[in-house]
Amino acid sequence: MNTSAEPATLPLPPATGGWQEGDPAGRRSWVTLDGPLPLEAGGALPGVRLAYETWGRLAPDGSNAVLVLHALTGDSHVAGPAGPGHPTGGWWDALVGPGRALDTSRWFVVAPNVLGGCQGSTGPSSARPGGGRWGPAFPYVTQRDQVAAEAALADALGIARWAAVIGGSMGGMRALEWAVGRPERTGALLVLACPAAASAEQIAWGAVQIAAIRSDPAWQGGRYHDAPAGGGPYRGLGIARRIAHVTYRSEPELGARFGRDPQPGGHPWRGGRYQVESYLDHHATKLVRRFDAGSYVTLTEAMNGHDVGRGRGGAAAALRRVRMPALVAGVDSDRLYPPGQQAELAAAIPGADRLRTIESPYGHDGFLIETAQVGGLIEELLSQA
Ligand SMILES: CC(=O)SCCNC(=O)CCNC(=O)[C@H](O)C(C)(C)COP(=O)(O)OP(=O)(O)OC[C@H]1O[C@@H](n2cnc3c(N)ncnc32)[C@H](O)[C@@H]1OP(=O)(O)O
Ligand SMILES: N[C@@H](CCO)C(=O)O
């Protein structure tokens, strides 16, 4: 049982992300785009850098590359050793390696940190060309901008076409954008627990989280990156994470696991906490130590803007372009991105058959936790790639 509570102040994370400096695993690389990245909403972003990790070896003809795209607070560390920000190693450790679903004796696996993120790629906490940090001047970026940056990474690596693109949640949104926007470069597609477009309720959850961050006086309009240690909007980010984490789990799981039990050390009636409260405090503290609030806002705004049909005649027309082999899966207990949304995707994507279901009590986080089932889907997809 963990009894940690949110500290009053936390050390400011390294300006450009919790794990960038020192990179203990020594395996992360970067590419820097030569020119400014044109943005969907207008303007261009100069000095874009994408961090990425790879596993396996690229075949001489470049045909064995698989792109894995992380979710909101994930990063490039899909698999590998523990380090700062990754106390237990990679977030899909069980799926990458010799003999695993992403068998590195056959496949070359590439995972970038998303544009707008804070673990090595350019985001609001990054240095701005000309001096200072981007902060509130960091532009609005969309999934299509993020995928454009990833396409530049693919070019730099000599990968003309991915054998497969795989992503869950926010990573699924980018995977969809690859398949719709760059079908000639997407050999096969696996989309987990994400919609064709963010729904009103999903936008609402995101908006509440953004409001929590912006209401923290330490947010300072997003100009906090050069504040003295302890000066970031940690409370707001922690509240955002608590809200989000409830949506990532299921009501039956929380009920069975925590019920109404008080956390040992103090009854809620006498100033203590419920167990579930302590659990949320713990996840808030963990995130605040490794993630930048400005990136959280930037990426949440991008997710709220997700609409694969924008400017393409609607989602149905856009998804008709997805003719490569595709699997779409949802988690049966996901209340954030309910499986009905993935059923719609599966029905609209010509390359997909029926909806695949990940059975899990854990809700949306099932796509991270149920690695045996996800591994089965990956193996099935790669058998068609
Ligand atoms: C693709 C991506 O984006 S992934 C990036 C990685 N994602 C994250 O880190 C997101 C945050 N974490 C999560 O979403 C989840 O923890 C997952 C999906 C990674 C793992 O889920 P689970 O294995 O079910 O872990 P769970 O949610 O139960 O959390 C376990 C933690 O809660 C703590 N905990 C459990 N009960 C309590 C309690 N009553 N009070 C305080 N802490 C508690 C445990 O001690 C454990 O702590 P630790 O993680 O520091 O070891
Ligand atoms: N736990 C995941 C859920 C969002 O998909 C994350 O933090 O990225």
Cα–Cα distance for residue pair 45/145, rounded to 1 Å? 10
Which ligand approaches the C-alpha of residue 72 most closely? 2
pLDDT < 70 stretches in the chain: 1-27, 83-85, 87, 229-230
Using DSSP bridges, classify how beta strands 37-38 and 29-32 pair: parallel, antiparallel or unpaired: unpaired
Minimal-distance CA residue to ligand 1 atom 38: 279
Whether residue 72 is contained in a domain is answered as: yes
Cα–Cα distance for residue pair 170/70, rounded to 1 Å? 7
CA distances to 93, 153, 281, 335 from 265, in Å? 35, 50, 15, 32
Whether residue 320 is contained in a domain is answered as: yes
Q: Is 65 left (phi over 0), alpha (psi -120 to 50) or beta?
A: beta
| Domain boundaries, position 54 | 29-199+307-383
Rounded to 5 degrees, φ, ψ at 280 are -65, -40
Neighbours of 215 (CB within 10 A): 12
CA distances to 99, 239, 300, 361 from 206, in Å? 38, 12, 6, 23
Q: Which atom of ligand 1 is nearest to the CA of 4?
A: 41
The first and second tokens of residue 236, run together, are: 């707001």
Minimal-distance CA residue to ligand 1 atom 11: 283
CA of 364 relative to ligand 2 center, distance in Å:
8
Ligand 2 pocket test, pick from 202, 253, 299, 365 with the greatest ligand atom count within 8 Å of Cβ, gives: 365
Angle at the Cα of 88 from the Cα atoms of 330 and 266, rounded to 5 degrees: 90
Cα–Cα distance for residue pair 287/71, rounded to 1 Å? 14
Which ligand approaches the C-alpha of residue 169 most closely? 2
Q: Which residues line ligand 2 (CB under 6 A)?
A: 71-74, 169, 248, 365, 368
Which of 143, 1, 137, 130 is closest to 69 using CA atoms? Answer: 143
The length of the chain is 385
Whether residue 21 is contained in a domain is answered as: no
List, by residue number, the catalytic residues: 169, 334, 364
Q: Which atom of ligand 2 is nearest to the CA of 287?
A: 7
Task: State the total domains in the chain.
Answer: 1
The first and second tokens of residue 113, run together, are: 């940190």
Q: Which H helix or E strand runs over 279? A: helix 275-290
Q: What is the pLDDT of residue 27?
A: 66
Tell whether ligand 1 has an atom less than 6 A from the beta carbon of residue 248. Answer: yes
Whether residue 70 is contained in a domain is answered as: yes
Q: What is the pLDDT of residue 229?
A: 66
Which ligand approaches the C-alpha of residue 193 most closely? 2
What CATH number does residue 314 fall under? 3.40.50.1820
Using DSSP bridges, classify how beta strands 189-192 and 164-168 pair: parallel, antiparallel or unpaired: parallel
Cα–Cα distance for residue pair 124/136, rounded to 1 Å? 7
Coil vs helix vs strand at 119: coil
Q: Which H helix or E strand runs over 166? A: strand 164-168
pTM for this model (two decimals): 0.93
Q: What is the pLDDT of residue 88?
A: 74
Q: What is the pLDDT of residue 147?
A: 96
Tell whether ligand 1 has an atom less than 6 A from the beta carbon of residue 369. Answer: yes
Q: Which residues contact 107 (CB under 8 A, 6 or more apart)?
A: 56, 64, 65, 66, 163, 382
Which of 199, 177, 178, 204 is closest to 344 using CA atoms? Answer: 199
Minimal-distance CA residue to ligand 1 atom 6: 74
* Residue that the structure tokens 């509240």 belong to: 239
Cα–Cα distance for residue pair 372/164, rounded to 1 Å? 19
Which of 71, 121, 77 is closest to 95 using CA atoms? Answer: 77
CA of 144 relative to ligand 1 center, distance in Å:
30
Q: What is the pLDDT of residue 22?
A: 34
Whether residue 366 is contained in a domain is answered as: yes
Q: What is the pLDDT of residue 230?
A: 61
Whether residue 329 is contained in a domain is answered as: yes
Tell whether ligand 1 has an atom less than 6 A from the beta carbon of residue 310. Answer: no
Is 241 annotated in some ligand binding site?
yes
Tell whether ligand 1 has an atom less than 6 A from the beta carbon of residue 70. Answer: yes
Helices (H), 130-264: 143-157, 170-181, 200-214, 234-248, 251-258
Whether residue 296 is contained in a domain is answered as: no
Tell whether ligand 1 has an atom less than 6 A from the beta carbon of residue 282. Answer: yes
Whether residue 17 is contained in a domain is answered as: no
Cα–Cα distance for residue pair 65/156, rounded to 1 Å? 13
